[in-house]
């Protein structure tokens, strides 16, 4: 039994027209799944539950040849940065699937052999080649930029006649995958580490701690000590997962936070600069312009 029907069984309801509506006694929202063909499928989840659930993973013993593209925080962008997690299926072979109380994701799974057949073997970057080979546990995160978000919005909101719906959604799913692979192809890594869940959890913990203190530039040795890793391994794993160095990633989010504070309008440019840990406001202005495209004063008036 596939996962959508297992979930419906848990709620004591049924799937209608590929869609499961969460009964009011359990929460609100919906889950819908589209199996376009043997090579590509998509699940849209947008719901709030009153409590966490756990269901058996029906695909735990199936051959692992799919690549998962998991779009997170795409329906409500007010709290967290929308991002895509890209992973080989060997990263997730758990016998159970946790169903969290609040989920807003789109999962697209694509057969790696199908994707591999679409590319010239000699032209692929090491990152793209390793992903498509799908022979080791890999995990990448890609921030969702506006043109990707537009495609996501079309998938979720576009009103399409039933006659064309499957065709339309498959094309949009493949467009998302193509654009994400184009971004991964730009990454410079030449050697990729096979990841394990412990290292992955550690890197995400370090990332969250760093983003919780945007007024304090990260010190690699301190982060490595907190991660119980060598500085070299920490820097390599971080760049492999996020596509940026630790400091570049930190600086990008620091400037996004500064832009958000300026848009709120309650703080002056100097207040925002000092709050973000800058002692030199000219330096703050230069860094802000590099990342946002205009000077802070100009941005606050736009």
pLDDT at residue 90 in the model: 66
State the 10-residue block means of pLDDT for the chain, 302 residues long. Answer: 82 91 92 93 90 73 78 72 86 60 88 88 79 89 90 90 93 95 85 88 94 93 95 95 95 93 89 93 94 91 80
- CA distance linking residue 239 with residue 234, whole number of Å: 9
pLDDT at 99: 72
Position 13 scores a pLDDT of 92
Q: Are 238 and 248 in contact (CB under 8 A)?
A: no
User: pTM to 2 decimals?
Assistant: 0.88
Q: Write down the pLDDT at residue 285.
A: 94
The predicted pLDDT at position 193 comes to: 87
Token pair for residue 171?
Answer: 């094309």
How many residues in the chain?
A: 302
Please provide the CATH number assigned to the domain covering 197-301.
1.10.10.60
For the chain, the structural domain boundaries read: 3-185, 197-301
* H/E stretch holding 126: helix 126-133
Cα–Cα nearest to 204, from 116, 270, 140, 137: 140
B/e letters for 63-96, b = 16+ CB within 10 Å, e = fewer, are eebbbbbbbbebbeeeeeebbbbbbbbbbbeeee
């Amino acid at each position: 039994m596939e996962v959508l029907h297992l979930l419906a069984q848990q709620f004591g309801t049924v799937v209608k027209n590929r869609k499961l509506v969460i009964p009011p006694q359990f929460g609100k929202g919906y889950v819908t799944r589209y199996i376009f063909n043997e090579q590509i499928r998509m699940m849209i989840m947008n719901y709030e539950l009153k409590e966490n659930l756990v269901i058996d993973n029906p695909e735990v013993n199936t051959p692992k040849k799919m690549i998962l593209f998991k779009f997170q925080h795409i329906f409500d962008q007010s709290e967290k940065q929308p991002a895509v997690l890209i992973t080989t299926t060997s990263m997730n072979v758990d016998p159970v699937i946790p169903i969290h109380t609040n989920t807003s994701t789109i999962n697209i799974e694509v057969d790696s052999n199908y994707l591999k057949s679409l590319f010239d073997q000699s032209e692929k970057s090491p990152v793209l080649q390793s992903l498509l080979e799908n022979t080791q546990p890999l995990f990448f995160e890609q921030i969702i930029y506006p043109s990707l978000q537009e495609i996501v919005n079309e998938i979720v909101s576009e009103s399409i006649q039933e006659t064309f719906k499957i065709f339309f959604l498959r094309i949009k799913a493949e467009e998302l995958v193509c654009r994400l692979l184009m971004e991964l192809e730009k990454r410079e890594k030449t050697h990729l580490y096979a990841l394990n869940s412990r290292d992955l959890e550690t890197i995400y913990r370090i990332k969250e701690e760093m983003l919780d203190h945007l007024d304090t530039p990260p010190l690699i040795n301190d982060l490595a000590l907190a991660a119980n890793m060598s500085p070299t391994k920490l820097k390599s794993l971080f760049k492999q997962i996020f596509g940026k160095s630790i400091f570049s990633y930190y600086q990008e989010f620091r400037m996004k936070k500064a832009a958000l504070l300026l848009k709120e309008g309650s703080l002056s440019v100097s207040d925002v600069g000092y709050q973000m840990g800058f002692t030199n406001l000219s330096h703050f202005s230069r860094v802000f312009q590099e990342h946002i495209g205009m000077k802070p004063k100009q941005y606050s008036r736009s």
